[in-house]
Amino acid sequence: MTSLQTWAERVCREIKKEYYPPNEEIQLILAALLCQGHILIEGKPGTGKTQLARALSTVLGGDFKHMSCTPDLEPSDILGASLYSREKEKFIFRKGPIMTNIFLLDEINRSSPRTQSALMEAMGEGKISVEGTNIPLPNPFFLIATESTVEKEGIYPLPEGQKDRFFLTLTPDYPGREEERWIMKRSGKGETAKTVSGPDELRARQGEVLEVHLEDGLKEYILDLVDYTRKDGELVTGISPRGSLALYRGSQALAALKGRDFVIPGDIQTMIYPIFKNRLSFRQGPYGDMPDEGEYINNMLNRISVPPIE
């Protein structure tokens, strides 16, 4: 898997010419991309989400589209619609912005539930349905959606079932002092990322991830973690099979990004928080309080032992 690690280092190096995140954050994004998953970013405004998506599309050699959500946004504004052409005397399908390789959808929870649900088919099946016709999305297709966690007005919270469609969730914070100094220094005169990959290579890399070995003992470990959430009365619902598969595949991808062809327990433990975070649905406490996801996951990891590995 050293070739995949070399590819990832090359991609990471170019992205960091335009964006400041730590290597761990970029690795999580690449892991989701290699697993053909999609990511939800919760965070404060102005933390460089658009810049990251643009840099990623440039480095990977794909098309990029960006759309900001509003309550009046219709599904056709994203998916596309047929318009009548007087010149050709027939309806012509006009592609929506979703027909791209990397699609950044800002503040998804500002769009109506009807518009949110229109994205679920695209995320799950790699196609859209418009006026009774199935239209395949470009391959690769990678959705980066951001969710506003600051404002409360004009917000339509994502249902649990829709959050489960996202492979993982990131929660970037403001940059540290050194990173922000770098941003100021770079402003208006920094290096520009260049294309170092392409769609064909990315599809090949996605296939390589499937070859990463995961011991039976570690498969049981993943099942133990998932089973823990399903039996815990503190949760309304446990982790779904989609979530357990994401942890399985994500651990393979992370191992490959680190140059290994086998998974170790640390891969699972690194991936569990971003994958489980928005899949944990807690019951309210007696005073309306809600447990912290990070603390809950840490307690779970402390209580469940890693089975013997051959």
Closest among 121, 144, 131 to 52, alpha carbons compared: 144
Flag whether 309 is in a domain: no
Do 165 and 291 lie in one domain? The reply is no
pLDDT(1) > 70: no
Flag whether 18 is in a domain: yes
Beta carbons within 8 Å of 37's beta carbon, 6+ residues apart: 166, 167, 168, 246, 249, 250
Flag whether 205 is in a domain: no
| CATH number for the domain that contains residue 282 | 1.10.8.80
Encoded amino acid at 207, one letter: G
Determine the average pLDDT of the residues in 198-223: 94
Do 136 and 215 lie in one domain? The reply is no
Do 111 and 25 lie in one domain? The reply is yes
Do 229 and 114 lie in one domain? The reply is no
CA 86 and chain centroid, separation: 41
Query: How many structural domains compose the chain?
Result: 2
Q: Which of 48-62, 70-84, 96-110 shows the highest mean pLDDT?
A: 96-110
pLDDT(51) > 70: yes
What is the average pLDDT score of the chain? 88
Q: Label residue 35 by pLDDT band (50, 70, 90).
A: very high
List Cβ<8 Å contacts ≥24 apart for 5-12: 5/256, 5/257, 5/258, 5/259, 7/197, 7/201, 7/205, 8/257, 10/196, 10/197, 11/59, 11/60, 11/196, 11/197
Do 277 and 131 lie in one domain? The reply is no
Q: Label residue 188 by pLDDT band (50, 70, 90).
A: low
For 116, the domain range is 2-187+195-199
Higher per-residue confidence, 189 vs 206? 206
Q: Label residue 10 by pLDDT band (50, 70, 90).
A: very high
Q: Give 20-30 pLDDT, tens digit per residue.
A: 767 788 899 99
Q: Label residue 285 by pLDDT band (50, 70, 90).
A: low
What pTM did the predictor assign? Answer: 0.91
Q: Label residue 310 by pLDDT band (50, 70, 90).
A: low
| DSSP SS3 for 21 | coil
Determine the average pLDDT of the residues in 22-47: 88
